[in-house]
Amino acid sequence: MPLKVLTVDDSITIRKIVRKAFIPYNVNIIEAENGVEGLATANKEKPDLIILDITMPIMCGIEMLSKLKEEKNLKDIPIIMLTAESGRSKVTEVIRMGIRDYMVKPFKANELIARAKKLVRLANSQ
Amino acid sequence: MTDKPIDIGKKIEEIALNLITMEGEDIPIIGDMLNGLKDIASACNGFEETNFKDLVDALYFYLEKIALRETVDFQPLETGLEHLQRYYQCIGNQTDYTINLTPILKTLGAQAQGPPEQVANGQEQTDADSCQTSQEPFSSETFNSPDPNLNDEDREIINDFISESLEGLAIVEVSLIDLEQNPDDKESINAIFRCFHTIKGVSSFLEFMRINHLAHEAENLLEKIRCRDLTINEEITDIILDSMDLLKRLISRIPQAMETGACLDIGLNIAPLVKRIEQIHDQTELSQQPVGQIMLNQGSITKDDLNSALEIQKQNPQAKLGEILIEHEAASSKQVMAAIRTQKKSPARTRELQVKVDTDKLDTLVDLTGELVIAQAMLRQHPYVQSLTDQRLVHTLGQLNQITSGLQKMSMSLRMVPIKSAFQKMIRLVRDLTRHSGKNVQLLMEGEDTEIDRNVVDELYEPMVHMIRNCVDHGLESCEDRIKAGKEPTGKIGLKAYHRGGNIIVEISDDGKGLDKNNILKNAISKGLIDQDARLPDNEIYNLIFQPGFSTANQVSEISGRGVGMDVVKKGIETLRGRVDINTSPGMGSTFVIRLPLTLAIIEGMLVRTGNERYIIPALSIIESFRLTPEQYFTVEGKGELIYSRGALIPMVRLDRLFNLEPGENDISDKIAVTLEHDGKRMCLLLDELLGKEEIVIKSMGERMKDVKGIAGGAILGDGKVGLIIDMAGIWNLTMN
């Protein structure tokens, strides 16, 4: 069964870049545009990995992260946070909230894949 | 804070263990360590040992740097933790920890204040390409841009970026208008911020570095507004607008470049704008108190220390004042850190203090002030007061007079806002109209800072939209027609506002083909608005377009044809006690002139008397007034009484008969005639006396009397009695029936 990766980002371009990065792998990509959608999708699909942006309308990534951490069956899903430089102070905040990894935009496809490989393998072995 | 006191010793051990067992970068473990340090920090808040707390803070600071991938050197952290462990043991044994912490604090802290180093992140990034964020200064005007040789996928992503960004920028425009009206609207600021943020993020992926740089600068500016370090003002709004425009231009030219395979870096100069943004940043940074001053205030250094340190800094401008002070042992690193913390905590807020007030309260204040003015006038005109001989009382009354008029001016000004907000909404409208109609239109604005009553501004919006739609749709010709007529292909629409004699005038003009008299006549006859053989003067013909059910457009267009016409405009303006006129000349264009009272609460009125009754005629409607001579008076069968004035016969109406009053003077030559204009039609009102022009505070007639025909409201006059304000549209209806 292919792995499920959920991308939560308000920019369609970023979502496409993520999608493109995973093309060579047997991965099923699902997408959401904001925290509210992201939570709903995460609940329904139980993804193996979530790639989560911080700055989004309606519900931002930090709020979604804290909601994820409250849910028993979602809190252990590994999360890669996406941040922009201006979000530096937020990086510490999300690290303390228990994300597994983070990436600063812009990132290269192979960086994303390398980080994801590490996490998804870990998640499977647990 | 946890209820149970945490075991600090155990926490420190946990952190130390984490540090030893951690291999390379491990975000979850770093997260645990950060939380541990935070717990310790809050647990030792009440400690007397402030050095201990400082060490914990410094460790947290350094760990944060590791988390942010600014350094990969774990050594200072290990050394610091060792210190912390031993220090804690000393506290437990109630012995003093005698080792000087300054060097380790400096290693942990000093680096934290230095510029972030770009250190490649060891293990982690050997398999992941080290991602190079663009840190090089943008001194020259060359920027990286994507390779023009794109594959289809890249093209698709770039196209997505373009449409996404342009959509976002359109939202910025709307939000910015909202923000200008309501500077505290967090959602608008956030929406604007997000747009620039997204453009910045995505453009860096796609390597549109010029766009990235500009978006980044604008984002920084907005971040400051979000954090309330900056208050939005006109200058900043302009900069954001300009940034938005420039980004729009940069982005919208990409498709063309993609087509032709040219360089994708659109060569528009962003440097001037970036410089303007930087200047704003400089202004805010200057307003921070210098570290030296803070330390002086905190008593951690003496004036002499500061002066000598400043002297050293002069010779070596790169050095930081704090560092110099530490080096010369004038202050401890702890004191410097404390000062820097204070500095960051209290950015000087240039925010003006404002109070939000319910407009109802404001209206009541204006109302009450109006009454005060009247009461004051009554007092002044009182016979007893006028016969006063007591100089001091007269002086006090004079003072009261001054204060009341000052108060009135102030309370009126509270409601005044620049008309700009209404004008700016038109920018978008015109742009949209241009796109839909395919005509080239340029909007020229003048007098945006003209102040107008808040309520009027809101009400003015819809009439303006209608009129501008009409200008674009019916007034301006298509490009080809314009060229044929020898005009520039781009049509011009003018928006102009200015004050004139207690009124605000708003002009909406176009340089199109002007109104077509014959077309209007034909249309009006076919719609049954006028008789086949009616002979009307030009201005009455033009005014026909304000009649309900009139529309000259041969076909209903996407823009104007929505079933509402110019009659709505006229009605809207008349409810504001204003009037609208048209000046038009064939081939040269038309101008709509809207005259409005400055505020809704006060009008300029002519106080008149007929018999024993006094009325107020809105001064806006008065064309002229004169003493009647018998030669001017005519009676025509079927048309009643007429007055001959300035080459025209004008229908005459006697005010006393109109309102069924005791007849006033009977002799025509003792009467005064006042020529009124309404809807382009004139009427002579016959009355006994003009009492003078006054600013009148309008009072509504109340529920029960609101339907009295011909009366718009009442006003309390100087002697305390009520005068009725004549409603122009109302008396026209009365006389027609």
**pLDDT on residue A26:** 80
Residue B286 exposed, middle or buried by CB count within 10 Å (0-12, 13-18, 19+) = exposed
Instruction: Report yes or no on B189 lying in a domain.
Output: yes
Distance CA B122, CA B24 (A): 7
| Block residue for tokens 């952190």 | B15
Domain boundary among B321, B345, B369: B345
Tokens of B554: 């041969």
CB of B26 within 8 Å of a chain A CB? The answer is no
pLDDT band per the 50, 70, 90 thresholds, residue A86: low
Could you tell me the maximum CA-CA distance found in chain A, to the nearest angstrom?
38
Instruction: Report yes or no on B144 lying in a domain.
Output: no
The pLDDT of residue B415 is above 80: no
Same domain, B380 and B481: no
B127 to chain A: which residues are within 8 Å by CB? 110, 114
CB of B28 within 8 Å of a chain A CB? The answer is yes
Among B107-116, B262-271, B371-380, which is the least confidently predicted range? B107-116
In sequence order, which residues have a C-beta less than 8 Å from that of residue B65 and are 6 or more positions away?
A: B71, B111, B112, B116
**pLDDT on residue B317:** 67
From the CA of B120, how many Å to the nearest CA of chain A?
Answer: 13
Same domain, B78 and B217: no
- Cα angle vertex B657, ends B651, B661, to 5°? 150
**pLDDT on residue B601:** 65
User: Do the Cβ atoms of A95 and B67 come within 8 Å?
Assistant: yes
Give the torsion through C-alpha atoms of B229, B230, B231, B235, to 10 deg: 180
Other CB atoms within 10 A of residue B639 CB: 11
Same domain, B433 and B568: yes
User: Do the Cβ atoms of A106 and B127 come within 8 Å?
Assistant: no
Segment (H or E) for B607: strand B602-610
**pLDDT on residue B139:** 38
Same domain, B637 and B668: yes
Of residues B241 and B1, more confidently modeled: B241
**pLDDT on residue B472:** 84
Same domain, B514 and B551: yes
The pLDDT of residue A6 is above 90: yes
Nearest Cα residue to A69 out of A97, A31, A107, A30 = A97
Instruction: Report yes or no on B555 lying in a domain.
Output: yes
**The model's pTM:** 0.41
Distance CA B355, CA B633 (A): 60
Residue B57 in 3-state DSSP?
Answer: helix
A115 to chain B: which residues are within 8 Å by CB? 128
Same domain, B41 and B109: yes
In sequence order, which residues have a C-beta less than 8 Å from that of residue B269 and are 6 or more positions away?
A: B141
Pairing of strands B681-687, B648-654: parallel
Distance CA A45, CA A1 (A): 13
Tell me if B77 sits within 8 A of B66, measured CB to CB: yes
From the CA of A40, how many Å to the nearest CA of chain B?
Answer: 22
Instruction: Report yes or no on B143 lying in a domain.
Output: no
Chain A: residue whose CA lies nearest to B134: A106
Q: Which of B133-147, B505-519, B566-580 has the highest mean pLDDT?
A: B505-519
- How much of chain B, in percent, has pLDDT values that exceed 90? 2
Distance CA B619, CA B251 (A): 53
The pLDDT of residue B290 is above 80: no
Instruction: Report yes or no on B593 lying in a domain.
Output: yes
CB of B128 within 8 Å of a chain A CB? The answer is yes
Tokens of A40: 């709903």
**pLDDT on residue B557:** 45
Instruction: Report yes or no on B252 lying in a domain.
Output: yes
Specify the number of domains making up chain B.
6
Same domain, B259 and B321: no
CA distances from B705 to A2, B423, B712 (A): 78, 37, 10
Chain A: residue whose CA lies nearest to B127: A114
Of residues B280 and B138, more confidently modeled: B280
Tell me if B675 sits within 8 A of B650, measured CB to CB: yes
Same domain, B639 and B722: yes
Give pLDDT tens digits for B518-570. Answer: 888 888 888 777 887 777 888 888 888 887 777 655 444 444 444 456 777 88
CB of B213 within 8 Å of a chain A CB? The answer is no
User: Do the Cβ atoms of A20 and B27 come within 8 Å?
Assistant: no
Cα B248 to chain center, whole Å? 21
β-pair partners for B590: B584
From the CA of B514, how many Å to the nearest CA of chain A?
Answer: 47
Same domain, B411 and B421: no
Type of residue at B584? T
CB of B133 within 8 Å of a chain A CB? The answer is yes
**pLDDT on residue B169:** 85
Domain boundary among B540, B566, B597: B597
User: Do the Cβ atoms of A16 and B157 come within 8 Å?
Assistant: yes
User: Do the Cβ atoms of A17 and B38 come within 8 Å?
Assistant: no
Q: Supply the DSSP symbol for B737.
A: -
**pLDDT on residue B564:** 53
User: Do the Cβ atoms of B68 and A91 come within 8 Å?
Assistant: yes
Question: Mean pLDDT over residues B27-41, rounded?
Answer: 87
Same domain, B257 and B377: no
CB of A111 within 8 Å of a chain B CB? The answer is yes
Give pLDDT tens digits for A26-45. Answer: 888 999 988 888 998 998 88
Q: Which of A30-34, B461-465, B658-662 has the highest mean pLDDT?
A: A30-34
By Cβ distance, the residue of A84, A98, A108 closest to B200 is A84
User: Do the Cβ atoms of B202 and A57 come within 8 Å?
Assistant: no
**pLDDT on residue B670:** 81
User: Do the Cβ atoms of A99 and B194 come within 8 Å?
Assistant: no
From the CA of A1, how many Å to the nearest CA of chain B?
Answer: 26
**pLDDT on residue B501:** 63
Segment (H or E) for B618: strand B613-618
Question: Mean pLDDT over residues B311-336, rounded?
Answer: 73
**pLDDT on residue B500:** 76
Could you tell me the maximum CA-CA distance found in chain B, to the nearest angstrom?
120
**pLDDT on residue A7:** 92
β-pair partners for B723: B715
Instruction: Report yes or no on B145 lying in a domain.
Output: no
CB of B307 within 8 Å of a chain A CB? The answer is no
Of residues B41 and A50, more confidently modeled: A50
A101 to chain B: which residues are within 8 Å by CB? 27
Other CB atoms within 10 A of residue A112 CB: 21
The pLDDT of residue B469 is above 60: yes
User: Do the Cβ atoms of B201 and A106 come within 8 Å?
Assistant: yes
Same domain, B714 and B678: yes
CB of A8 within 8 Å of a chain B CB? The answer is no
Domain boundary among B571, B597, B623: B597
Instruction: Report yes or no on B89 lying in a domain.
Output: yes
User: Do the Cβ atoms of B28 and A98 come within 8 Å?
Assistant: yes
Q: What is the CATH number of the domain that holds B554?
A: 3.30.565.10
> SS3 sequence, chain A?
CCEEEEEECCCHHHHHHHHHHCCCCCEEEEEECCHHHHHHHHHHHCCCEEEEECCCCCCCHHHHHHHHHHCCCCCCCCEEEEECHHHHHHHHHHHHCCCCEEEECCCCHHHHHHHHHHHHHHHHHC
Q: What is the CATH number of the domain that holds B365?
A: 1.10.287
CA-based end-to-end distance of chain B: 82
Among A44-58, B27-41, B163-177, B552-566, which is the least confidently predicted range? B552-566
Tell me if B95 sits within 8 A of B86, measured CB to CB: no
CB of B568 within 8 Å of a chain A CB? The answer is no
- How many cross-chain Cβ pairs, A to B, lie less than 8 Å apart? 99
Per the structure, the complete domain to which residue B22 belongs is given by 3-113
Question: Mean pLDDT over residues B6-19, rounded?
Answer: 83
Type of residue at B149? N
Mutate to test the interface with A, among B126, B205, B222, B224 (most CBs of A within 10 A): B205
β-pair partners for B580: B594
Same domain, B528 and B438: yes
Which value does ipTM take for this structure? 0.78
Q: What is the CATH number of the domain that holds B206?
A: 1.20.120.160
Nearest Cα residue to B520 out of B504, B534, B502 = B534
